Amino acid sequence: MSDPRPLGVFDSGVGGLTVLRELQRQLPNESTIYFADLGHFPYGPRYQAQVRHFAINIIRFLETLEVKLVVIACNTATAAALNTARELFDIPIIGVITPGAEAAVAATRNKRVGVISTEGTLQSQEYLHAIREANPTIGVLPKAAPELVDLVEAGKSGAPETEAVLRAALQDILHYQADTLILGCTHYPLLRPLIRKIAGDSMTVVDSAETTAARVKRVLARNGLESAEPGGAQHQIYVTGSPERFTDVAHILFGQDLPPITTVRLELVEAMSGREGAA
C-alpha cells in the first residue's frame, strides 16, 4: 500500500528549509510542499495568538492541497499553535520542539542545557517543559536572540555583526557551563561555524531537523502513510510576499536547486482556509 500524497512543511521564512532538506534526505520517496509565510515574517516578535492564527490558516491551506501530514518547521509557530492545531485537524501534525528537546536530553552529560531562540519561543517556555518532561533533573538556561533571524535571512550568517550578537547570546550559557546547546530556531543551523568559533568543542549543538525528520518517518511507517514510489517524489514551494530575498538565501541554506516557487496572496490563503479577512 502506497500513499503518494505530499508532506506539508511551513515556516515564516527560509529557516524551515533545514527541516525540509533533512526530510528529503531521510524520506527520498516522499513528495513535499513547503510554505514560507514571508508576508508575515518574522514570527518571533509577534503575539502568540497572532502566530497561532497564521499557522492555522496555513494548515487549512495545505489541507486543500491534500497533504497527508504537516510539519510545523518553526519553533515559534510550534510553541504557539501545535496543541490547538492537533485539536482542529485530523491529519498528523508534528512540531520541532519536542524532537529537539529529546535529542538534547540524550546528548547532555552534565545535565545542563542551553537554548537560544526567538523571543516568542522563549516566552512560551515550551523547551523547558519538553526537556523537564523527558528528564526533570536537567537544568535549562534559555536565551532569546531575535536579531539572529533577520541576520540569517539577510545572508549575513558569517558577518562580524552576527558574531557580536551571537557572542552576547551565548555568554551566560557558556558561563553556566552547559554542555549541550539547542538551536531553538530553524534559521540557526547556518550559525554552526560561528558557534564553533565562539564555544569551541565545549558544547554539543542540537538542531531539530534530523530528529524531526526521524519522527515523521516513524509516524508514516506506523500509520501506513509511506510512499512506495522510488523516483516519484515531487516538490513545490509556496510563498506569501516577495520571493526574491527568499530565493537568494534559500540557495545557501538548502544547498541544492530549489523546487518551483509559487507566490500566493495572503488574502487567498485566508479565503482558502475558510477564514477570509484581513491578515
pLDDT reading at 272 higher than 70: no
**pLDDT winner (highest mean) among 85-89, 186-190, 252-256:** 85-89
Q: Which residue has the higher pLDDT, 38 or 228?
A: 38
What's the rounded mean pLDDT across residues 72-99?
96
98-207 folds as Rossmann fold (3.40.50)
Catalytic option among 17, 56, 67, 74: 74
Task: Locate the domains of the chain by residue range.
Answer: 7-96+210-272, 98-207
Q: Are 94 and 71 in contact (CB under 8 A)?
A: yes
3-state secondary structure the chain: CCCCCCEEEEECCCCCHHHHHHHHHHCCCCCEEEEEEHHHCCCCCCCHHHHHHHHHHHHHHHHHCCCCEEEECCHHHHHHHHHHHHHHCCCCEEECHHHHHHHHHHHCCCCEEEEEECHHHHHHCHHHHHHHHHCCCCEEEEEECCHHHHHHHCCCCCCHHHHHHHHHHHHHHHHCCCCEEEEECCCHHHHHHHHHHHHCCCCEEECCHHHHHHHHHHHHHHCCCCCCCCCCCCEEEEEECCCHHHHHHHHHHHCCCCCCEEECCHHHHHHHCCCCCCC
**Over the stretch 229-259, which tens digit does the pLDDT of each residue have?**
788 899 999 999 888 878 877 876 676 778 8
Class level of CATH domain 7-96+210-272: alpha beta
Catalytic option among 148, 185, 194, 199: 185
**Over the stretch 89-147, which tens digit does the pLDDT of each residue have?**
999 999 999 999 999 999 999 999 999 999 989 999 999 999 999 999 999 999 999 89
Cis peptide before 99 (omega within 30 of 0): no
What's the rounded mean pLDDT across residues 191-216?
93
279 included as an active-site residue: no
Q: Which residue has the higher pLDDT, 180 or 270?
A: 180
pLDDT reading at 279 higher than 90: no
| Mean of all residue pLDDT scores within the chain | 91
Same fold, 7-96+210-272 and 98-207: yes
User: What is the pLDDT at residue 229?
Assistant: 79
125 included as an active-site residue: no
User: What is the pLDDT at residue 141?
Assistant: 97
